[in-house]
Amino acid sequence: MRGSHSRPPAAEAFAAQAELITALQQRASLYTHPKGTVLFNQGDPTRGVYVLLEGSARLLVHRDDNRTVQVRTVGPGYLLGLSGTILNRAYLFTAKLAQDSRVAFVESADLLDFLRQHSDLCFDVVELLGGELLDLPPAIQHRTTRNRHHRANA
């Protein structure tokens, strides 16, 4: 459990702790985007993590049958693209803003450098990553496992 750290306002299951968000903002570029903005698409190469500071985003999965399914809606404190960035893989979801939002973007190399310098916050990131990956829909879990198996045998 993360117990001793304070959570950001209106935190939800996948929200980062305030200390981590504040530290990441110091390395980030801040942006305000209107509702409907797509921050990244499923399958795009990862460029970094988007920290949702205000507003909300929908995480969408494009299925093999050409249908799009909403996985979840996330709010302030969510680190969009964390799993793809840490695992050095394409983004697993499409992230589309559900309302006008303020985000902080941290490039992949900056995030990894940050984690090397702030080992005290690494466990917070690992916990977020683990929770996100465990909560993946079965179709994405299968695709992620298949890609890992394919890379291991390449």
Q: Which amino acid is at 141?
A: Q
Picking from 34, 22, 39, 4, the residue whose alpha carbon sits closest to that of residue 114 is: 22
**Model confidence pLDDT, tens digit, residues 68-121:** 989 889 999 999 999 889 889 999 899 999 999 999 999 999 999 999 998 888
Residue 1 — pLDDT band, cuts 50, 70, 90?
very low
Residues 6+ apart with CB under 8 A from 29: 104, 105
| Run of H or E including 54 | strand 48-54
Instruction: Identify the architecture of domain 18-143 in CATH.
Output: Sandwich (2.60)
CB neighbour class for 7 (10 Å; exposed up to 12, middle 13-18, buried from 19): middle
pTM of the model: 0.78
**Model confidence pLDDT, tens digit, residues 113-123:** 999 998 888 88
